[in-house]
Amino acid sequence: MNARRLTTVLSFLVITAVCGLVMASHPELRQGHKAALSANGRADASSGAQWHWQNPLPQGNTLYGASFTDTNTGTATGDNGTIVRTTDGCNSWVIQSSGTTNTLYGVSFTDVNHGTAVGASGTVLRTTNGGSTWSSQTSGTTNGLLAVSF
């Protein structure tokens, strides 16, 4: 299995686990979405599964890290400076502008407004407004930073 495919699979598993935790803590979210994507990417209502593409529809970048501050609010980071955020328990996602094209491997929020993302080449980004804007911080290293936690 090549590295790109492995990365894609691992990203899918991270997002699946995070959304699964949200769904488990909110039984009412499990109602209503009956269509699932079959192996060919088409909706398959007969399977009984409840998976479907979220908004924004696949943005094409692998995701590596996720941080949720509550059952509704979470942020995920990935390739090419990707940052996506949900405020409705994974029902929809909004792409945020990170200001970098470096891969972002990890993200940690201490509350809905204050968060830090880290990544390739010592990249450190900080937000104080829920990701509306991200500012670059000096890390003092050019090594890849793979995780962050507060």
Contacts 24+ apart (CB under 8 A), 21-26: 21/68, 22/68, 22/71, 22/72, 22/74, 22/89, 22/90, 23/89, 23/90, 25/71, 26/71, 26/89
Residue 48: inside a domain: no
pLDDT higher than threshold 50 for residue 45:
no
Verdict on whether the full-model pTM lies above 0.85: no
Task: Please give the distance of CA 43 from its chain centroid, rounded to a whole number.
Answer: 23
128 is in which domain, residue-wise? 1-26+62-150
Mean pLDDT across 121-140: 97
Residue 51: inside a domain: no
What's residue 33's pLDDT?
38
Look up the CATH number of the domain holding residue 114. Answer: 2.40.10.500
pLDDT tens digits along 48-99: 667 766 655 667 789 999 999 999 999 999 999 999 999 999 888 899 999 9
pLDDT higher than threshold 70 for residue 149:
yes
Q: Tokens in use for 69?
A: 């501050």
DSSP state letter for 38 = -
pLDDT tens digits along 20-34: 555 555 544 444 433
